[in-house]
Structure 1
Amino acid sequence: MNKKLKEKIGWLHLWLGLSSGLVVFIVALTGSLMVFEKEIDQFINPEFYNVTSIGTSKKSLDYCINVLEKEYSIKKISRISTWNDPSRTIVITGKNKDKESQIFSMDPYTGKVLGTILYRDRFFSIVLSLHRELLLGDIGKIITGVSCLIFVFLLFSGLILWWPKKIKNLKQRLSVKWSASFRRINWDFHSTFGFYSLTFLLIISLTGLVWSFDWFEKTLYFMADGAVKKVSLKVENPTKIDPELDHNNFYQTIYNKTDSIFSYKGNIQIRIPSDTINSIQVLKEHLDIRIPDQSSAVYFDKYTGENIEIRPYASFSRGDKVKRLVYPIHTGSVFGYPTKIIAFLVTLFALTLPITGLIIWLGRKKKKKQ
């Protein structure tokens, strides 16, 4: 490569790295925690996710909701999560009297509330907000998105800067000389492990752009389906006014219907829309598929409980299937613990890049003065 061009790439690599370093550090740190979110949360709060004893029969979902409405003044339910594992609790999210989202863990066998927390106070809610928007809302979302784009450039430019002038020197670039000076070890650590983790960090960074930019998500759909239009996850509710029917056993009924429509083993989640337009969406995750988050959907009229539409996972477009792969790929859960460990290690390494890069720059600055 032309020497002057390489120098310009090096200059961009340096200053873009310094300008985005703090954001990259925060996003990488929070990302490494998010890889094992479920495991950490269940380890810290076992009583929130597991019952002390497994009963012979379960209370209906409507019974559990009635408990929350009476004892905790919950006005509106937004999500009900159930698991195929008999030892797991039911987790219900609803709006309290202050219109704040509150999460409840309930024993499905007794209907007893085992724990509750406001969504905004949950540790991983704060971590997720830091990861995606730096706790700054839409402005933070733009900052993290731009920083992610810069990081993608840094990965490619880093590869160019790492690549040796002569192939015979390639072996030297593939290892860290631990017996050398601190400056040399720091440079080797930054560049050598940067090379080894480049592919994984590139995949994690590119999938992360889906949550920052609509144009990137549309590009995924265009590449998969040849069109930017995606199938909406929402279905309009046909009944516009509540006919005031008897709604006893309402949620348990739509749960049972979904469970019978899709006979495979799976976790079921009921999502109740906050608006007055859309219907209830019930998702059943296929646990026999190795890749997580592969769910089929059924839509129900939120007033009458009638079945509106059935969407098996097999009927989704390639674009929708790709979109559903983004989260497990981004978090490393796509192939279970092997890919989770890889994602955890490379994101931990990523948070060191701004630090080792800064040390390299300070060392060069000191050398120039001398």
Structure 2
Amino acid sequence: MKKKLKKKIGQLHLWLGLASGLVLFTVALTGSLLVFEKEIDQFFNPEFYNVAQIGKKKKTIDYCTSAIQKEYGIEKLNRIIVYGDPKRTLTIIGKDSKGDSQIFSVDPYTGKTLGTMAQKNRFFSIVLSIHRNLLMHDIGEIITGCSCLIFVFMLISGLVLWWPKKAKNLKQRLTVKWKGSFKRINWDFHSTFGFYTFLFLLIIALTGLTWSFKWFENGMYYLANGTTDKPSAKVENPVKIDPKLDKTDFYQHIYHKTDSLFPDKGNMQIRMPADTINSILVLKEHLNFNIPNQYSSLYFDKYTGKNIVVRPYESSSRGDKLKRLIYPIHTGSIFGYPTKILAFIVCLFAVTLPVTGLLIWLGKRKKVKTKF
């Protein structure tokens, strides 16, 4: 009975692997690049991320945004990112008259624009889109999501197939016979390193499901909080009509107010609402936590700049805190370079799995044909 079950699992492992192999190859390859996205981008575009010289005093955020809006015809600001590192440039994202999002790098000490690029043409924006939806939007998200589910099954079924019948065969399963034939090396490489990377790949795959399926995210909240309820990421703006107040230092006021409430060193994002209903969201990252993506949230009236809601990190539910851990766990950035290097290596190995699996299948087909 066990032998028959294992055979059926093996057949499912084979055919599901062949069906999802190309998608897995693409997602794993782009994922390995995204692990070191910041490092690669900053290496090739240092002037976009760092100022040539640290000045004595920074220009106001409003001075920098006004200069960009006038020079480049930006009609709507989407996001402003202020970094805690004095060497870092100010990042401003806005939409032009055609509705295309543009990214600007600004020297905060001079207000001078150091670089600009269309967000859709940015290399890593394209890589991320391939990783999440194969450049096919909603349909692509379904394909990658289903492939991720298949990969979870492949990992578990692969462990079942790898598991030796007898304890004396364990040593053989834990090593690659490098002096063997190509067929043997390929089989050992696929199964042995599949075992060693099993847990890490399973964690990466499961965390990746958060972006693919709402039911998975709801399940995560239910496990953490006992309910699927979670606070909305949006807060309705209390003022419905723009009172046309003096807004000379509007964003600078929001920045100072946030910094006074949360003085810890950290980067800050000011996000403007995409609609006419909701307020401005500000995220203040807490770098002193030693784990990235941990932040407090504040909401400001988009017309008056008045602080509406304050949500400190400490007041977040267990579900919210767990969700904020998903991204650093998935990308390997949770404990800095040691886990990033580990994530990079296991992602590169995942790239080889469809290839070595295909070679195993072709070898079996060739063997069957030679019998006739």
Single out whichever of 227-236 and 145-154 deviates more from structure 2: 227-236
Partner of 2:173: 173
| Aligned-pair CA distance for 1:165 | 1.0
TM-score (norm 1): 0.99
CA displacement 1:298-336 (0-9 Å, x = unmatched) = 110000000101111000000000010000000000111
Superposition pairs for residues 328-339 of structure 1, below 5 Å?
328-339=328-339
Which residue is equivalent to 2:231?
231
The residue aligned with 2:122 is 122
Q: Alpha-carbon deviation of 1:297?
A: 1.2
Name the SS for the 2:289 alignment partner: coil
SS in 2 for 1:222: helix
Unaligned segments of structure 1, at least 5 residues: none
Q: Deviations over 1:221-261 (max 9, x none)?
A: 00000001111111111001101111110000000000010
Instruction: List aligned pairs for 1:117-156, cutoff 5 A.
Output: 117-156=117-156
C-alpha separation between the residues in 1 aligned to 2:187 and 2:365? 15
Tell me the distance in 2 between the aligned counterparts of 1:230 and 1:218.
Answer: 9
Q: What does residue 201 of structure 1 align with?
A: 201
Matched to 2:339, the amino acid is T
For residues 287 and 216 of structure 2, what CA distance do their matches in structure 1 show? 29
* 4+ runs deviating over 2 angstroms: none
Tell me the equivalent position of 1:301.
301
Q: Please give the secondary structure, in 2, of the residue aligned with 1:186.
A: helix
Alignment correspondent of 1:277? 277
Deviation at 1:180, TM superposition (A): 0.3
Return the letter of the residue paired with 1:9. I
Please say if 1:366 is aligned against 2:366: yes
Alignment match, 2:317: 317
CA displacement at 1:69 relative to structure 2: 1.0
How far apart in 1 are the matches of 2:80 and 2:307?
18
Letter in 1 for 2:132: R
TM-fit CA distance, 1:263: 1.4
Cα distance in 2 for partners of 1:361, 1:298 equals 55
Distance in 2 of aligned mates of 1:198 and 1:235: 41
* Amino acid of the structure 2 residue aligned with 1:57: K
In 2, the alpha carbon distance for the partners of 1:61 and 1:274 equals 20
TM-score after normalising by structure 2: 0.99
Match of 1:99 in 2: 99
Q: How far, CA to CA, are the matches of 1:203 and 1:232 in structure 2?
A: 27
Mapped to 1, the partners of 2:156 and 2:320 lie a distance apart of 29
1:34, 1:345 → 2: CA distance? Answer: 12
Displacement of 1:266: 1.0
Report the Cα offset of residue 204 of structure 1.
0.2
What RMSD over aligned residues (CA atoms) do the two structures have, in Å? 0.6
Distance 1:360 1:274 in 2: 50
1:130-171 deviation line (CA, Å, top 9, x unaligned): 000000000000000000000000000000111111111001
Query: 1:340: which partner in 2?
Result: 340
- SS at 1:288 equivalent: helix
- Distance in 1, matches of 2:303 and 2:284, equals 21
Structure 1 partner of 2:5: 5
C-alpha distance in 2, partners of 1:83/1:63?
17
Report the secondary structure of 2:55's partner residue: coil
Q: Separation in 1 of the partners of 2:230 and 2:14? A: 39
Stretches of structure 2 lacking an aligned partner (at least 5 in a row): none
Question: 1:88 corresponds to which residue?
Answer: 88
Name the SS for the 2:85 alignment partner. Answer: coil
Identity of aligned residues (%): 69
CA–CA separation in structure 2 for the residues paired with 1:33 and 1:82: 25
* Superposition pairs of residues 50-61 of structure 1, within 5 angstroms: 50-61=50-61
CA distance in 2, matches of 1:358, 1:351: 12
The 1-side partners of 2:28 and 2:67 are apart by 41
Separation (CA, whole Å) in 2 of partners of 1:298 and 1:164: 54
Partner of 2:186: 186
1:191-244 CA-partner distances (Å, limit 9, x unpaired)? 000000000000000000010000000000000000011111111110011011
Report the Cα distance in structure 2 between the residues aligned to 1:83 and 1:21, rounded to whole angstroms. Answer: 40
Pairwise CA distance, 1:356: 0.0
